């Protein structure tokens, strides 16, 4: 499984809802009806930081992730992208 390119900008898909839970969070995609579990509150912080960060790497930094955590989160974010929970942000002109 290839990790996500942390040097690109990513967002939650507009049809994804995030519900924080004590264990992490539930992500529900209203379009595909898929449910994903985030079992790591650090990963939840990264996912939430994607909305305002210029890149996924910046979101990791904003969430307090070190290089080792960022590499692990990149693999998790790649899984979320493959399941359409995340989409690459298109640059605005």
Q: In the chain, what are the domains? A: 10-83 (3.90.930)
Question: What is the per-residue pLDDT for 92?
Answer: 65
Question: What is the per-residue pLDDT for 93?
Answer: 62
Question: Minimal CA–CA distance to 44: which of 65, 30, 68?
Answer: 65
Q: Tell me the pLDDT tens digit for each residue of 3-35.
A: 789 999 999 999 999 999 999 999 999 999 999
**Cβ atoms of residues 63 and 45 within 8 Å:** yes
Question: What is the per-residue pLDDT for 17?
Answer: 97
- Residue 20, CB-side half-sphere exposure with 13 Å CA sphere: 9
Q: Tell me the pLDDT tens digit for each residue of 29-80.
A: 999 999 999 999 999 999 999 999 999 999 999 999 999 999 999 999 999 9
- Residue for token pair 């298109």: 90
């Amino acid at each position: 499984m290839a990790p996500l390119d942390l040097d690109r900008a990513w967002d939650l898909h507009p049809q994804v809802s995030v519900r924080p839970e004590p264990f992490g969070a539930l992500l529900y995609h209203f379009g595909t009806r898929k449910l994903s579990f985030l079992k790591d509150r650090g990963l939840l912080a990264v996912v939430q930081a994607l909305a305002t960060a210029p890149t996924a790497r910046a979101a990791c930094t904003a969430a307090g992730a070190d290089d080792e955590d960022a590499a692990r989160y990149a693999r998790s974010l790649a899984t979320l992208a493959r399941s359409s929970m995340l989409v690459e942000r298109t640059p605005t002109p």
